[in-house]
């Protein structure tokens, strides 16, 4: 398999001689049935330059081309803004989200989100793909976030997220001195019925697992600098889990944190690690600290 413009070309060899095309695409590209069906519907698969309209048998020497470039109309309104791009190619995009903006619109016509700025970025670069986020960050959490540029990349990255091979590492400043140097919080999270947006640890909630490691402590100010990795991606997961063990994040007033040091939760998605959905290369993207967290680290943990 090789990349060709914005698509992929596969030369059928002895291994796949006489097999059904869709089975080959599933094996070689990890393409799901819905993705393959979408390609067929939009005439994006060609065998020896002929469009495929059903599941044909391929023979040794056949050339299969899949056009990955999409021209779907997006409901996200393009809006000019600066993007801090950590990684980009024809298949995926990783950006460093600033604090204070939502990842994507929650209602039709909404602007002012990261997705709006990415839609503009695609537009000015002649890309007609939809804005497809693979995971999200809370509005006031900064850091690395992954977007897919087409259905195949989105499906594969979603699988990595489910299988925990797409790894997300966060840095947080928590109140108090954590006694354990490292540990795991394995507590289900559900909605807090007494508050419209808050979550809480609840036996009836969804499974949630967070691993933490203390990087530094400040005894005088009773603060801990913590590195965290997510196994699951529940809403407010790190914030809820840290508050549940008595160490809410600095600035996180929703979960009991004080606002003296920061006017948002002191949480930054420092690193994302994923296997590239097409090339299978390891992609590691690190997002530098924003000024507010960088200043706190310098003031209290240097």
Catalytic residues: 138
Strand positions, DSSP E, 68-166:
85-88, 92-97, 132-133, 142-148
The token duo for 132 is 């497809």
Distance CA 27, CA 46 (A): 17
Phi then psi for 39, rounded to 5 degrees? -60, -45
Angle at CA of residue 171, ends 167 and 177, nearest 5°: 130
Judge contact between 90 and 153, C-beta under 8 A. no
Distance CA 35, CA 14 (A): 25
In which residue are the tokens 């929650």 written? 106
Q: What is the DSSP letter of 149?
A: S
Distance CA 147, CA 133 (A): 4
Judge contact between 3 and 278, C-beta under 8 A. yes
């Amino acid at each position: 398999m090789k990349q060709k413009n914005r698509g992929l070309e596969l030369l059928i060899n002895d291994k796949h001689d006489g097999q059904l095309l869709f089975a080959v695409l599933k094996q070689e590209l990890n393409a799901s049935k819905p993705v393959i069906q979408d390609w067929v519907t939009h005439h994006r698969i060609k065998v020896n330059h002929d469009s495929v309209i059903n599941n044909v048998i391929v023979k040794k020497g056949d050339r299969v081309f899949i056009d990955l470039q999409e021209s779907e109309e997006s409901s996200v309104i393009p809006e000019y803004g600066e993007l801090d791009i950590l990684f980009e190619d024809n298949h995926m995009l990783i950006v460093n989200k600033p604090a204070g903006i939502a990842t994507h619109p929650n209602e039709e016509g909404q602007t002012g989100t990261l997705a709006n700025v990415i839609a503009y970025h695609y537009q000015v670069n002649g890309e007609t793909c939809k804005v497809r986020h693979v995971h999200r960050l809370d509005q006031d959490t900064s850091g690395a976030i992954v977007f897919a540029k087409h259905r195949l990349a989105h499906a594969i990255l979603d699988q990595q997220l489910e299988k925990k091979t797409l790894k997300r590492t966060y840095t947080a400043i928590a109140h108090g001195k954590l006694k354990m140097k490292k540990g795991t919080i394995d507590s289900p999270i559900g909605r807090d019925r007494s508050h419209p947006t808050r979550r809480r640890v609840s036996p009836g909630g969804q499974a949630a697992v967070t691993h933490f490691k203390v990087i530094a402590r400040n005894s005088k100010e009773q603060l801990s600098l913590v590195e965290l990795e997510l196994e699951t991606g529940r809403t407010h997961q790190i914030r809820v889990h840290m508050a549940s063990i008595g160490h809410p994040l600095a600035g996180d007033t929703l979960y009991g944190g004080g606002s003296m040091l920061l006017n948002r939760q002191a949480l930054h998605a420092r690193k994302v690690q994923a296997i590239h959905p097409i090339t299978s290369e390891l992609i590691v993207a690190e997002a530098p600290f924003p000024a507010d967290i960088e200043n706190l680290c310098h003031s209290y943990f240097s």
